[in-house]
């Protein structure tokens, strides 16, 4: 048995926007958005402004399951700093030894 739709909700939508039986696809344009995109803005004086929006170079994208635990940048940074403290420090001499092996002497 189908539920009856509330008339007042559908009255404000035009008939050409009938979305019955259609489903949206979550994340359909997510990969394209990560590469960057352009937005055309029509100004009141008739001119068009184009803004290119690209992700910042140091931007990191979190998967939804990870995002549930880290709602903001501060919580991510705090967790990463605690992990960094667990990593033993690298010895400066070892880096120089390996560099000499592959580079010219």
What pLDDT score was predicted for residue 92?
Answer: 55
CA dihedral 19, 53, 73, 83 (to 10 degrees): 110
- Tell me how far apart the alpha carbons of residues 85 and 105 are, in angstroms, rounded to a whole number: 35
What pLDDT score was predicted for residue 28?
Answer: 84
Between strands 48-53 and 37-42, the pairing is antiparallel
- Tell me how far apart the alpha carbons of residues 20 and 27 are, in angstroms, rounded to a whole number: 21
Q: How does pLDDT run across 12-26, given as a tens digit for each residue?
A: 778 788 778 888 888
Contact partners, residue 40, CB within 8 Å, separation at least 6: 48, 49, 50
Mapped onto helix, strand or coil, the DSSP state of residue 37 is: strand
What pLDDT score was predicted for residue 55?
Answer: 78
Residue that wins the pLDDT comparison between 43 and 27: 43
Tell me the pTM. Answer: 0.37
Q: How does pLDDT run across 65-102, given as a tens digit for each residue?
A: 988 898 888 999 999 999 999 988 776 555 444 444 44
Maximum Cα–Cα distance across the chain? 81
């Amino acid at each position: 048995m189908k539920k009856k739709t509330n008339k007042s909700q559908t009255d404000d939508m035009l008939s050409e926007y009938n979305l019955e039986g259609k489903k949206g696809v979550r994340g359909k344009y997510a990969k394209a958005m990560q590469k960057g995109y352009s937005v055309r803005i029509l100004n009141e004086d008739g001119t068009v402004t184009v803004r290119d929006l690209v992700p910042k170079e140091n931007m990191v994208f979190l998967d939804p399951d990870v995002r549930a635990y880290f709602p903001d940048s501060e919580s991510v940074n705090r967790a990463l700093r605690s992990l960094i403290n667990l990593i033993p420090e690298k010895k400066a001499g070892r880096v120089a030894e390996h560099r000499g092996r592959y580079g010219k002497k």
